[in-house]
Amino acid sequence: MKLELQGVHKYFDTPSGPIKILENINLQVAQGGFISVMGPSGSGKTTLLHLLGCLEQPSFGKVFLEDTEVTDAEETVRERIRLHHIGFVFQNYNLLPTLTVIENVLLPMQLANVKTAEQITRAQSLLRLVDLENRAHDPVTRLSGGQQQRVAIARALSNLPGLILADEPTGNLDGRSSKEVMDVLKSINDHQQITTVLVTHDPKVAAYARRTFHLEGGRLKELAR
Partner 1 sequence: MIALTLAFRNVLRRRERSLLTLVGVLLAVGAFVAMVSLAEGLYRRVSLELDGRAVDVYVVPRTAAPLPTGPVGTVGLTTDTVALTWIEKIAALKNVRRVAPITRDQWTSEHGTVMVVGIEPTSLREFLPSLEIVEGRVFEAGQILVGVGLAASEGLTTASSQGAQEGLKNRFGPGESRYPISGIVSSGSGFQDYFVYLPLATALETNARKGVQEVWVKVEDPHRAAEVVQAIEALAIPDVKVMTRKDYLGAASDYIEYAWLLQFAISAIGVLIAITAAMNTMLMSTYERMREFGTLRAIGAPRGTVVTMVVTESVMLSLLGGLLGLAFGWIGSILLDRAMVTLLQLSFPLAAITPGLIIQAILLSLFVGLVGAAIPSVLVWRVDIVRGLRWN
Could you give phi then psi for residue 72, rounded to 5 degrees? -110, 25
Residue 39 Cα to chain centre, angstroms: 17
CA distance 185 to 130: 10
Residue 16, number of CB atoms within 10 A of its CB:
6
Q: How many residues bind partner 1 (CB under 8 A)?
A: 29
| Rg of the chain taking only CA atoms, in angstroms | 17
Which of 33, 39, 44, 53 is the binder for partner 1 (CB under 8 A)? 53
Q: Does 160 bind partner 1 (CB under 8 A)?
A: no
The end-to-end CA distance of the chain, in Å, is: 23
Exposed e or buried b per residue across 118-156, where buried means at least 16 C-beta atoms within 10 angstroms of its C-beta: ebeebbeebbebbebeebbeeebeebebbbbbbbbbbbb
* Nearest approach, Cβ of residue 84 and partner 1 (Å): 7
* Nearest approach, Cβ of residue 74 and partner 1 (Å): 12
Query: Binding mask 167-196 vs partner 1 (x if CB under 8 A, - otherwise)?
Result: ------------------------------
> Quick one: 26 or 68, whose CB is closer to partner 1?
68
- The window from 1-9, 74-82, 188-196, 217-225 that contacts partner 1 (CB under 8 A) reads 74-82
User: Cβ neighbours of residue 91 under 8 Å, at least 6 residues apart?
Assistant: 167, 168, 169, 171, 172
- The window from 73-81, 122-130, 183-191, 207-215 that contacts partner 1 (CB under 8 A) reads 73-81
Show contacts with partner 1 in window 77-136 (CB under 8 A). Answer: 79-84, 86-88, 90, 92, 94, 96-99, 103, 107-108, 110-112
Could you give phi then psi for residue 56, rounded to 5 degrees? -135, 165
> Quick one: 99 or 219, whose CB is closer to partner 1?
99
The residues binding partner 1 (CB under 8 A) are: 50, 53, 55-56, 76, 79-84, 86-88, 90, 92, 94, 96-99, 103, 107-108, 110-112, 155, 159
